Amino acid sequence: MIVNWYREHAKKFNEAANYIEGTFAAGQPRIRTNGASLRLRNQPEFTAANVQAAVKKRGMRRADVANAFQVPIEEVEALIEDKKNGLVVAERAGWIRTKE
């Protein structure tokens, strides 16, 4: 009796999975390395000037910038390491600051 109940529910779940897979397979978004999938339309481009503006507006750490701009954290670190971009990381707490 319990075995039949499980088989019926398994059949329903398989049908639902096949429907979802068939419906969304063509439009499946690309998954980035940091787990972000889609770039929002009103999201600014990932440039040093835009990161500086975001950091000045609201304090951010590396992971915050990566999530805000939907880029891997390695790209954020590379942007910070480039001295001409005017970004530094505070030693104690890891907050990103602009050079002034």
Residues of the chain with pLDDT under 70: 22-42, 100
Angle between the N-to-C axes of helices 73-81 and 48-57, in degrees from 0 to 180, rounded to the nearest 10: 100
Domain ranges of the chain: 2-98
What integer pLDDT is reported at residue 12 of this predicted model?
Answer: 82
Tally Cβ neighbours within 10 Å of residue 53.
13
CA distance 68 to 79: 15
Are the beta carbons of 71 and 39 closer than 8 angstroms? Answer: no
What integer pLDDT is reported at residue 9 of this predicted model?
Answer: 84
Q: Which residues contact residue 87 at a Cβ distance below 8 angstroms, ignoring those fewer than 6 apart?
A: 48, 51, 52, 55, 79, 80, 96, 97, 98, 99
Are the beta carbons of 60 and 54 closer than 8 angstroms? Answer: yes
Are the beta carbons of 37 and 67 closer than 8 angstroms? Answer: no
The pTM for the full model equals 0.56
